[in-house]
């Protein structure tokens, strides 16, 4: 019997500057489509349309495969030590540069809900920055991090290693609603 | 138990001035890309034999999806399902008619073969998505859900099919074992 054909995602290659620029934009577009469809799936489920919710979830996953393919061609996937460094750098930029600047604009314009959304994100990025930094140190010695549950607040994204707190220290959501990984 | 969408702790939609609207759009773009990157980094960590780091990336990816959703809510980016299906349909149409043909042409001009593959895979799947969203919108406008059928996605190229999985992917020829099914 012939073996089924196992395909592999597109591979990294040396890119012309224009191709690299547009592939970055395509990665951004696919990433945003995927997140939109996940939010739309939750809305469809709330409206009692579980099959439409499933369609949105499946298509969100398809967009994730496209985002991964573009990222792969762009050479954006390293080994875990490099990936942790890239993740740490991204979180640091959001904490030091992006969210403070965005919050200043939202404050100036009196956008209360936008400020809440920004505050939740910035607070969680600080958790992530610390977790990535600690983990990278472990990986550089060739070891995995310790096996422990990780809990995430479904409202603000607050992230903790180990048990969920009684209530979220950032937004007050009860610990029972946290999603455990 | 799910979260009540009316939960007061969730940031609420509000009228935004153009600059705040712009920065929230950018923040949504940033969070969305971080969430996708971390999912890929999770797979990489698992392949390297670091399952706990894989879990860390997956958990933080989920946290970034919460931020993306919050920003999208405030910008009034979440509508009724019929409205959401129209937005989704229009996004797919733009990618099929405008974005990917232009991107692929550049990649061809510059002889970047892997980039041609990556854009072709995406463009073909978006055609499936567009027609699925159009059908679903008709149902939603009539107040009905779509049929209760599994939806399967090729994990190489994103080819999306409602109902039975083909023996091999018609776009990239991956085996049916390489599909993920949403039941």
Residue B169: which domain range? 147-183
Determine contact: B40 vs chain A, CB below 8 A: yes
Q: Please name the helix (run of DSSP H) or strand (run of DSSP E) that holds residue A150, with its range, or none.
A: strand A150-152
| CATH of the domain spanning A146-181, picked from 3.40.309.10, 2.20.28.10, 3.40.470.10, 3.90.230.10 | 2.20.28.10
pLDDT digits (tens, 9 = 90+) for B116-125: 999 999 999 9
Domain of B106, CATH number, reads 1.20.1260.10
Task: Say if residues A110 and A95 touch (Cβ distance below 8 Å).
Answer: no
pLDDT of residue A83: 96
Determine contact: A43 vs chain B, CB below 8 A: yes
Domain of B157, CATH number, reads 2.20.28.10
**B138 and B123 inside one domain:** yes
Determine contact: B122 vs chain A, CB below 8 A: yes
User: What ipTM was predicted for this assembly?
Assistant: 0.88
Fold of domain A78-144 = Ferritin (1.20.1260)
Whole-model pTM over 0.95? no
pLDDT of residue B1: 40
Are A77 and B153 an interchain contact pair (Cβ–Cβ within 8 Å)?
A: no
On whether residue B164 sits in a domain, the answer given is: yes
Q: Which residues of chain B lie closer than 8 angstroms to A169, CB-CB?
A: none
**B137 and B151 inside one domain:** no
Which DSSP letter does residue B56 get? H
Query: Rounded to the nearest 5°, which phi and psi values hold at B8?
Result: -65, -20
Q: How far apart are CA A41 and CA A136, in angstroms?
A: 34
10-residue mean pLDDT profile of chain A (181 residues): values are 76 93 95 96 94 95 95 96 96 96 95 96 96 93 91 96 95 94 96
Q: Which residues of chain B lie closer than 8 angstroms to A65, CB-CB?
A: 121, 153-158
**B152 and B135 inside one domain:** no
Determine contact: B56 vs chain A, CB below 8 A: yes
Task: Say if residues B147 and B139 touch (Cβ distance below 8 Å).
Answer: no
pLDDT of residue B22: 94
Provide the phi-psi class of A75: left if phi over 0, else alpha when psi is between -120 and 50, else beta.
left
pLDDT of residue B5: 59
Number of domains in chain B: 3
Which DSSP letter does residue B178 get? G
Among B37, B58, B74, give the residue marking a domain's end. B74
User: Is domain A17-73 classified as CATH 1.20.1260.10?
Assistant: yes
């Amino acid at each position: 019997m012939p073996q089924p054909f196992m395909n592999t995602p597109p591979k990294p290659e040396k890119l012309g500057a224009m191709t690299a620029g547009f592939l970055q934009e395509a990665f951004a577009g696919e990433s945003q489509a995927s997140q939109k469809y996940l939010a739309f799936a939750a809305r469809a489920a709330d409206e009692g349309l579980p099959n439409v919710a499933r369609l949105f979830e499946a298509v969100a996953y398809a967009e994730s495969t496209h985002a991964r393919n573009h990222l792969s061609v762009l050479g954006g996937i390293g080994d875990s030590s490099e990936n942790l460094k890239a993740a740490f750098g991204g979180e640091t930029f959001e904490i030091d540069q992006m969210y403070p600047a965005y919050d200043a604009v939202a404050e100036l314009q009196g956008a209360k809900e936008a400020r809440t959304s920004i505050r939740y994100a910035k607070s969680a990025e600080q958790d992530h920055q610390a977790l990535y930094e600690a983990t990278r140190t472990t990986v550089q010695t060739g070891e995995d991090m310790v096996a422990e549950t990780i809990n995430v607040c479904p409202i603000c994204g607050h992230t903790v290693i180990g048990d969920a707190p009684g209530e979220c220290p950032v937004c007050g959501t009860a610990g029972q609603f946290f999603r455990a990984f | 138990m799910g979260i009540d969408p009316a939960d007061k702790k969730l940031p609420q939609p509000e009228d935004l001035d153009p600059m705040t609207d712009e920065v929230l759009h950018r923040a949504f773009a940033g969070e969305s890309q971080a969430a996708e990157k971390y999912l890929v980094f999770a797979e990489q960590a698992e392949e390297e034999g670091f399952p706990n780091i894989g879990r860390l990336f997956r958990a933080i990816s989920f946290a970034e999806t919460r931020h993306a959703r919050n920003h999208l809510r405030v910008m009034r980016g979440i509508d009724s399902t019929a409205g959401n299906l129209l937005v989704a349909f229009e996004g797919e149409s733009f990618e099929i008619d405008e974005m990917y043909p232009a991107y692929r042409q550049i990649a061809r001009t510059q002889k970047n073969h892997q980039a041609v593959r990556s854009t072709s895979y995406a463009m073909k799947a978006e055609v499936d998505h567009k027609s699925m969203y159009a059908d679903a919108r008709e149902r939603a406008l009539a107040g009905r859900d779509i049929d209760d059928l599994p939806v399967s996605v090729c994990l190489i190229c994103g080819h999306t099919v409602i109902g039975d999985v083909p023996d091999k992917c018609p776009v990239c020829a991956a085996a049916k074992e390489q599909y993920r099914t949403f039941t």
